[in-house]
Amino acid sequence: PSVGRRTLSRFLLYCVFVDRGGDDAVDEGLKGVEGAEVFVLRAAGIAAAARNHILIKDGRYLEKVSDITCVCLDKTGTLTSDTPELSDVATRAPRQNPDKIVAYAASAEIDSLHPAGKALIVAANDRSIQLFEASDIEEFPGRGVAARVEGDEILVGNRDFMTTRDVDTAYFKKRAAQFMASGKTVVYVARNGKPQGMIALENAVHPEADAVLHRLRRYGVEEIHLVSGDHDKVVTRVWE
């Protein structure tokens, strides 16, 4: 197929080479390549992508990119940073220590591979918060985690998870709405069935995300969808 036609393949090459001269350099470098050997272009594209941690199974798939009209993007790690950062801690009672809330959450998430769990552990370390020994850890994918910490049952997760465990989060409703409206993910912490606090996590949007989305549309992508397990308000804010 002609590499010089309206092509998303050029966009893929842009993604691969953008750190070597920028958008204008890529457009200039792709001029007049219609007569180049397709095999050479395939090999060069796949090799360059591999150096940037992008795995392309076969050169045929690289060429097929030009036929794409719909793209679905994951939010976390694609449009935003891989790991969120702790931005706020709200306690259930005025005299509660926010660090204790973080300690409970990070202790329960100590073995978690989820980005939110990793963020809580990093936040605890950054704040020099000593963690508790946790046992009987049970993860509930996409919802939260339950663990035994200092003899107490600690729950860490989203509102739906708390609801299934009969934990009332109504006290945090207004504050949670404010956090989510600003694009933050809310994590609740409960001890022995009682809400203790709420933690807000934030993923920074990649600075180049907007330019990449505009370039996708420029090369013929008609539909772009954002896929996420986060709350609708959080996803909407990031998409805006």
Q: What percent of the chain has pLDDT above 70?
A: 82
pLDDT at 70 over 70: yes
- Position 38 confidence tier, pLDDT thresholds 50, 70, 90: low
pTM: predicted TM-score of the whole model, two decimal places = 0.65
Distance, in Å, from the CA atom of 164 to the CA atom of 107, rounded to the nearest integer, reads 21
- Position 233 confidence tier, pLDDT thresholds 50, 70, 90: confident
Q: Of residues 42 and 163, which shows the higher confidence score? A: 163
At 93-140, the pLDDT tens digits run 888 999 999 999 999 999 888 888 899 999 999 999 999 999 999 999
Strand 152-157 vs strand 185-191: parallel, antiparallel, or unpaired?
antiparallel
Amino acid at 18: V
- Position 48 confidence tier, pLDDT thresholds 50, 70, 90: confident
As beta bridge partners, residue 225 has 72
At 148-199, the pLDDT tens digits run 999 999 999 999 999 999 999 999 999 999 998 888 889 999 999 999 999 9
Distance, in Å, from the CA atom of 79 to the CA atom of 238, rounded to the nearest integer, reads 8
State CA 6 to chain mean position distance.
Answer: 31
Tokens of 118: 């990793």
Distance, in Å, from the CA atom of 240 to the CA atom of 80, rounded to the nearest integer, reads 13
